[in-house]
Chain A
Amino acid sequence: MSTLLLRVYDWRWSVLPPVTGIAMMAMIVGALVAAPREIIEGEVQRLMYLHVPSAVIMYLAFSVTAFASVMFLWKRDIRWDALARGAAVVGVFLCGMALATGAIWGKPIWGVYWTWDARLTATLVLFLIYSAYLLARSVAGPLDEQAARYTAIFAIIGVADIPIIQMSVRWWRTLHPQPIVFQPTPALPTEMLAVLALGFIAIAALAAWLIVLQTETERAAQRTSALRAEIDHREIA
């Protein structure tokens, strides 16, 4: 089983980039050409095919960070810290994209780019939490276990903001639209749902590729640190 998993993982460079590229191109064609034009909001509604998948996959990326942080605290294996950082970078990127596309959609629809709406504010808080996590983690060295422990706890606490974001439109009166996709009968035409599903596949593939790439970069940074320490140790000895 582990051999099979390792073999699948070995395909990451040959499979993930082309799959991501094809899915992203299909999503763009679907969003800009195939999806029907929304009558009330007009063309800008097509940003939904980027905005909603970015927001949902961002939750998954931060959940990976929290899971890897728990595993790091449990196993004390620094490789889990690399995965936590890798997923956090991708989560922050997707969170930034969800905020940016939401703001651009908000200007013609609400009349403002930004408002201190509960969902927007909670999402901004999540963005700041994980930006702070990455900043704190990058100040210390890649192999600094104490810093990795403290930031892991911070990352686990930070993920508690996700249910708050998700429930904010139900708990408070907000400008943000109510959920129309994740309910028993989605309030979208089938053509729009199909393009949205394509958007989810594309952004999920992109996130998977970027997490792998970023995690292995963090592992390379850890290796650089370990090699430098080894050389220093030998030179002193």
Chain B
Amino acid sequence: MDNIEYLFAGFAVFWAALFIYLLTLQARIRSLHREIEHLEERLAASEGVTAPASRDLRGAPGASGGAPARGTTNS
């Protein structure tokens, strides 16, 4: 029995779904990172001090960097 087209379809579906998922996630990370930087600048302007950027996604796909600030997420 030779079902190579189904084998190809199975692997293609897996990789296509993973690729789309990673692209979507990258876009969301980039947008959140930009928004955090913008909001921190607004907050810093209202305080009159320089606020640190979030470091949570530093190095992640889509993130453009940021200064260290451990535990920046609220708890």
Please report A residues at the B interface, Cβ cutoff 8 Å.
Answer: 13-14, 28, 32, 40-44, 46-47, 50-51, 54, 77-79, 82, 93, 96-97, 100-101, 104-105, 107-108, 143, 206, 210, 213-214, 216-217, 219-224, 226-228, 230-231, 234
Contact = CB atoms under 8 A, between A and B. Distances in A.
A3 to B, nearest CB: 12
B60 A101 contact: no
Listed from nearest, the 5 A-B pairs whose CB atoms lie closest are: A13-B59, A42-B1, A44-B3, A227-B39, A108-B3
B56 A216 contact: yes
A221 B32 contact: yes
B65 to A, nearest CB: 12
A230 B40 CA distance: 10
A222 B10 CA distance: 36
B75 A79 contact: yes
A44 B10 contact: yes
Interface in B29-75: 29, 32-33, 35-36, 39-40, 42-43, 46, 54, 56-61, 72-75
B2 A97 contact: no
B25 A217 contact: yes
Contacts of A223: 36, 54, 56, 72-74
B49 to A, nearest CB: 14
Contact of A13 (B13, B32, B60, B72): B60
B2 A216 contact: no
Contacts of A96: 17
B13 A220 contact: no
Interface residues of B, number: 37
Contacts of B58: 13
A176 to B, nearest CB: 16
A82 B73 contact: yes
Nearest to A54: B14
A42 B10 CA distance: 14
Given A217-B25, A220-B57, A105 B6 contact: yes
B73 A227 contact: no
Contact of B29 (A14, A220, A228, A231): A220
Contacts of A44: 1, 3-4, 6-7, 10
Contact of B13 (A41, A101, A222, A226): A101
